[in-house]
């Protein structure tokens, strides 16, 4: 169902031509890919707005639409026609011309104008203990950079640079196409000079005249304590160099935290499992428990049951920003001795004979036990 054109532009049905134009420019500013790169629907929204503008800014078409709606327009021969534009930027230049939008928008998006460099993504892997303490890492990657020999102008130093013969220095070529709703002027970046408007007579040998080289970059990245697997660190302006004076792209460092065989991570908490032999769990003992700072002795109380959990406060992961340091939860796995010698077997048989109901009686009541199980 096509939406109502007045609704799309957010104007009343008696809006005059200037209001139509103003509403469309305002929408275009909001939907421009330079501002709104993160809205996946921006292109579709802009196409809707462009279609509404095309109809409402044309007196004949508007009259037809007012009288007969979308159907009337279709039977009158109007067909929205934006499918053949390669990208939303092309669509923008079709509507606003090469320089036309610049006044509205203040630079950017102009064919042949400054273009921001692309972003670079690199991944680093660190240990869990490093994720807890934080770490400085050096990342290396290839990125487009301005050529040092020609300083980006593409000419062998000391040689002249001519005005581009194809575009006469404008950096753009204009193509006029006829559509159902009249002439549409599209501009494209000049294919000879690449939008610079200037062509070096003797191209720089290091960059073959492009002004750009690929450079190996090294960047120190501070990974903050508490980082989780899969989080990204954003470092601005360390990506590919921009074109024609545009700013650099950004660097994104994806942090992978390697799995640690001793710990499971549960948010800020760590969970570990320790084995305690059944007789020691019955008698009580002290065991070594691994922590991120090395093993520490932990007391296991007499009568500790399988699956019981001890909590070592503050032995988990630090908070990434604000908050408290997590805990280390220690799950006791009571192990039953296997492969008994005949002597052990005799002792255990005598021990088994000595068992009474009182040995199986729990210290905590039924309700307390249920609560513990449900909370665990």
Binding region for Zn ion (CB under 5 A): 147, 149-150, 164, 166-167, 190, 192-193, 204, 206-207
- For the bound state, the minimum distance from the C-beta of residue 189 to Zn ion, rounded and expressed in Å, comes to 8
Of 150 and 289, nearer to Zn ion (C-beta) is: 150
- For the bound state, the minimum distance from the C-beta of residue 154 to Zn ion, rounded and expressed in Å, comes to 6
The answer to whether 313 touches 322, Cβ cutoff 8 Å, is no
Of 8 and 167, nearer to Zn ion (C-beta) is: 167
The answer to whether 4 touches 54, Cβ cutoff 8 Å, is no
For the chain, how far is it from start to end, CA to CA, in angstroms? 53
> Dihedral (C-alpha) 193, 197, 200, 206: value to the nearest 10 degrees?
-60
Sign, CA torsion 304/309/312/316: positive
- For the bound state, the minimum distance from the C-beta of residue 203 to Zn ion, rounded and expressed in Å, comes to 8
Q: Token pair for residue 172?
A: 């753009």
- For the bound state, the minimum distance from the C-beta of residue 234 to Zn ion, rounded and expressed in Å, comes to 30
The alpha carbon of residue 308 and the mean position of all alpha carbons in its chain are separated, in whole angstroms, by 40
Of 120 and 199, nearer to Zn ion (C-beta) is: 199
- Other C-beta atoms lying within 10 Å of the C-beta of residue 321: 6
Per-residue 3-state assignment (H helix, E strand, C coil) for 28-46: HHHHCCCCCCCCCCHHHHH
Sign, CA torsion 64/67/71/72: negative
- For the bound state, the minimum distance from the C-beta of residue 165 to Zn ion, rounded and expressed in Å, comes to 8
- For the bound state, the minimum distance from the C-beta of residue 163 to Zn ion, rounded and expressed in Å, comes to 8
Of 75 and 163, nearer to Zn ion (C-beta) is: 163
Of 167 and 300, nearer to Zn ion (C-beta) is: 167
The alpha carbon of residue 93 and the mean position of all alpha carbons in its chain are separated, in whole angstroms, by 28
Of 50 and 173, nearer to Zn ion (C-beta) is: 173
- For the bound state, the minimum distance from the C-beta of residue 90 to Zn ion, rounded and expressed in Å, comes to 18
Of 45 and 166, nearer to Zn ion (C-beta) is: 166
Q: Token pair for residue 91?
A: 């669509």
């Amino acid at each position: 169902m096509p939406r109502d054109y007045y609704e799309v532009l957010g104007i009343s049905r008696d809006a005059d031509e200037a209001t139509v134009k103003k509403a469309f420019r305002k929408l275009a500013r909001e939907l421009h890919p330079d501002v709104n790169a993160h809205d996946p629907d921006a292109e579709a929204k802009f196409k809707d707005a462009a279609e509404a503008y095309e109809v409402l800014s044309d007196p004949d078409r508007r009259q037809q639409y007012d009288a007969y709606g979308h159907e009337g327009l279709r039977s009158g021969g109007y067909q929205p026609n934006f499918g053949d534009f390669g990208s939303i930027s092309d669509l923008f230049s079709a509507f606003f011309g090469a320089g036309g939008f610049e006044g509205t928008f203040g630079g950017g998006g102009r064919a042949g104008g400054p273009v921001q460099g692309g972003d670079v993504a690199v991944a680093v892997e660190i240990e869990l203990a490093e994720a807890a303490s934080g770490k400085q890492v050096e990342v290396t990657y290839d990125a487009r950079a301005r050529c040092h020999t020609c300083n980006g102008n593409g000419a062998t130093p000391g040689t002249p640079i001519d005005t581009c013969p194809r575009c006469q220095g404008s950096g753009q070529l204009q193509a006029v196409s006829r559509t159902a709703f009249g002439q549409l002027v599209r501009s494209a970046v000049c294919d000879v000079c690449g939008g610079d408007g200037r062509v070096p007579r003797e191209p720089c040998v290091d960059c073959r005249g492009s002004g750009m080289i690929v450079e190996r970059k090294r960047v120190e990245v501070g990974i903050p304590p508490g980082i989780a697997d899969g989080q990204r660190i954003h470092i601005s302006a360390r990506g590919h160099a921009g074109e024609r004076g545009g700013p650099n792209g950004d660097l994104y460092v994806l942090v992978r935290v390697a799995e640690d065989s001793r710990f499971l991570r549960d948010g800020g908490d760590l969970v570990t499992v320790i084995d305690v032999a059944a007789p020691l769990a019955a008698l009580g003992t002290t065991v070594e428990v691994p922590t991120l700072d090395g093993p520490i002795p932990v007391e296991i109380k007499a009568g500790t049951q399988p699956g019981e959990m001890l909590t070592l406060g503050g032995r988990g992961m630090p908070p990434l920003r604000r908050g408290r340091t997590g805990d280390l939860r220690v799950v006791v796995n009571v192990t039953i001795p296997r492969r008994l010698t005949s002597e052990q077997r005799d002792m255990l048989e005598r021990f088994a004979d000595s068992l009474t109901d009182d040995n199986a009686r729990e210290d905590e009541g039924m309700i307390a036990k249920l609560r513990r199980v449900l909370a665990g």
